[in-house]
Structure 1
């Protein structure tokens, strides 16, 4: 019997020289971005690195770098890091497959190094330390503002960032418990408390990377993808590990909820609901991912009811340990604005000013619903073994794109979900969005920069005009690509 002729057949991708070059160039850019991050932190207190009081780790040099140098280094980290992830994904999509062990080793080394140096790019981790200190002294951080701690001459309170000195905590009960634990372990030292907080977040980041590796399954391409978009993504390493943002603590229980629900059954539904509630008890927006979990559980009434009961039990139990101010402070964030408000150009053009308005609220809600429905319709099919990821990404993304309150570390909710989805044009758009948003908040530790041409351009042109217009363009691109059906996954590379 004669064999049929051998035509093109599906098989393991054979990378071209261009694919290998792109992949390794991407990794080189990522490694360079991580190295510059370490340099920024090790230079010591600057426009990017807040004062920690000294005396305890994390230690650094006292190099007193100029504002211009610090801004240049910070912008290099974000732009090179985002470009590195994009270029590496390009190589991955065309057959390049780096050794998984190299990626895991690089993740561990990067996270360990960034966790042991001072934070950079934001003062939020100092706020966490202050709220933890307030709680450790027997006060309620949802009622008592950091100004009280500063007034009594507390060594932690004296280093409280000015911008939040009169603002009680807006974080969930689990975040408050983590801050309290860090304060007790760090003692009466800002540096010690910040170090404990960063170590907590770094550990959660590494465990999240392991969960993503497990969720990705045995396919090598899927595993490399999750490590490029999360574990070695300089945007996430900068904000979550080096910056120590509490969002990293919420990612871990959220991913665990996806993993548990995959088993099915009432017990899995209940536990996944508890884990989702725990994530939302760190930061409220994590509850949006529950849309995906609910969609995946809808086929089984017992699983769905178990999940709902788990969420309710976790949230009620967590918030019952706090006063009503805990919920009130979270609700008070509704209608707020931030520097990265995508509606800034629109509201300025309509003469609405910076104050929240009914019209802006309606625009935001309408745009979010439109984008959410479009993404539910047009996003590529998610992994067959993870039906919860696709709708979770759709509803988390529609909020992240349109909310007037935008911070780049909020993308800790986005990138793990994106990493579990097939590659498509959304990847480049969301990496670009992360870069644009990150640059708004840099250098991040000082509000009074030396007036130079660079700092004037950032404050007078980039923040009020370039960045909002770029964010609006990305929203338009997401809508246009969805309507055109252009978010289909990239076809696999075929060996011939």
Structure 2
């Protein structure tokens, strides 16, 4: 039933040709009129003010290191001493940015007669991101694990056999900032990421602030790759590019968790998408019954370069490697679509992946220990994972009926079943994508949806693995509505502290009420200056009398 619902939500194009009755998306939308440009300015400023409030709140309500250097910093240290105000500022900023993103969606939803230009979307994303570049980490403390484990590598020790506290010492400033649960845990990250981290540690040393900023540079590089790849993939799969950027890059989950939270998923997803785009960029669009054109040398080198980038993404987070399978599907269809061609393409992707990953591993000098620590995150039981949640519910029932507490066995069994289901879903989706039931990018996105549904551990930013690729797939109105609602809710319920509110839960009611009052007053200011809802559907042919997007100012 769930699989059928997912297939209904995502509707991809068969092959590489646009559906009948549609025009190329880059030619259809019109530029915004004067009223809509004024509305865009209101949305931009509202979101930018929210970004500034979030930045200020992060100085006192963020995931600060154990030894917080801001406490002794003039002016900036004030926010850490007024935690209720800082929390209220962070809550206000989060809510304002989510609202601004939702309003912006009214100007980019497929089916509108007029839509934002790419330049307008890029400027909006930059305005909302710049205030958050220099702020402390928020929503997660993972960046401290990155720094500590990179320091382990920089000191010549094996991060895949020893934890940060044991390697660096319990009094080391980097190790002390790592959450207690992870201080003795070997690194679960790929060799490429830790190799880059070793260079960061070589520059920053034990300076936490410099290290965080350099890690954020990596996250911004990843975001840049995402923004570069999304519109190109969207055009390939007949989705308006600005709509793809809105849902896949301007999404508050991306800004909050990949930029502010400094997660290495930004680099991994960026490399995966960039590699996918490079690999298919020279593959011809072949319609049903069209002759198969001869191969060109440029096609071969583009595929090799793209597969290499995807494998590099796997060197950051191994999940990125699944994209190789869907690139292989497109290559097999390019070769004519027979079973021998499918096996040949699969073998080619396997060889490239193994060779490139071997080169990365050997060059890093870290060995193959990373294969043994891929399940490092599974030591926690998170209710966000449906599989783990069901298992914990079963454990609770067992305790209720006095059958004993068998939590490890129950959760382990449930997770094993989840992995089997995930593998089976991959085989099915690869085959259905190969058969043309939906596009390769839609298949990749759905496969990563199943990772979120059946994976053993789910964090608030994990759904981005599926949301960002699916932003480029031909998606139904209902799918985009669900993704919008889901993204907004998850963005708002994740605490900016990067942990629970232990010891400061009393701040939440006051801060939340203050945030609601402030945002409510600002809503009164912008009332009547925002775009109205319009009918949402698929992109249709533009009347010949309409004004083209390329004319006039872009705003």
Is TM more than 0.5 here? yes
Whether 1:398 and 2:432 are equivalent positions in the alignment is: no
Whether 1:35 and 2:52 are equivalent positions in the alignment is: yes
Q: Is the 8 A contact 2:174 2:206 kept in 1?
A: yes
Shifted more, 413-422 versus 343-352: the winner is 343-352
Q: SS state of the match for residue 449, structure 1?
A: coil
- 1:323 is aligned to 367
Q: Is the 8 A contact 2:52 2:131 kept in 1?
A: no
What is the 5 A alignment of 1:98-137? 98-137=116-155
1:31 shift after superposition: 3.6
What is the 5 A alignment of 1:384-463? 387-424=439-476, 425-439=478-492, 441-447=494-500, 448-452=502-506, 454=508
Q: Is the 8 A contact 1:21 1:91 kept in 2?
A: no
Whether 1:63 and 2:107 are equivalent positions in the alignment is: no
Distance 1:413 1:9 in 2: 29
- 1:471 is aligned to none
Q: 1:101 to 1:218 in 2, by over 3 A?
A: farther
Aligned match for 2:275, one of 233, 242, 257: 257
Shifted more, 179-188 versus 266-275: the winner is 266-275
Shifted more, 428-437 versus 366-375: the winner is 366-375
Q: 1:60 to 1:258 in 2, by over 3 A?
A: farther
Q: 1:98 to 1:287 in 2, by over 3 A?
A: same
Deviations 1:63-114 (A, max 9, x none): 2265555555545555554454344334423234123222222333443432
1:225 shift after superposition: 1.2
Distance 2:100 2:481 in 1: 11
- 2:547 is aligned to none
Distance 1:373 1:23 in 2: 44
1:248 shift after superposition: 0.8
- 2:13 is aligned to none
What is the 5 A alignment of 1:191-206? 191-206=209-224
The answer for unaligned runs of 5 or more in structure 2 is: 1-20, 284-298, 336-340, 397-404, 513-535, 544-555
Distance 1:198 1:78 in 2: 19
Whether 1:181 and 2:199 are equivalent positions in the alignment is: yes
Q: Is the 8 A contact 1:270 1:303 kept in 2?
A: no
Aligned match for 2:328, one of 294, 309, 315: 294
Deviations 1:41-66 (A, max 9, x none): 3xx24354445642899x94432265
1:139 shift after superposition: 1.6
1:349 shift after superposition: 3.6
Distance 2:345 2:259 in 1: 35
Deviations 1:338-390 (A, max 9, x none): 242224553344235753535523653476578768978999x9999xx4312
Q: 1:367 to 1:80 in 2, by over 3 A?
A: farther
Aligned match for 1:360, one of 396, 409, 414: 414
1:183 shift after superposition: 0.9
Aligned residues: 452
Higher-RCO chain (CA-CA 8 Å, sequence separation at least 6): 2
- 2:400 is aligned to none
Distance 1:143 1:17 in 2: 61
Q: Is the 8 A contact 1:46 1:66 kept in 2?
A: no
What is the 5 A alignment of 1:12-31? 12=28, 27=44, 30-31=47-48
TM-score calculated relative to the size of structure 2? 0.70
1:289 shift after superposition: 2.6
Deviations 1:402-423 (A, max 9, x none): 3231112223422321221234
- 2:307 is aligned to 273
Q: SS state of the match for residue 537, structure 2?
A: coil
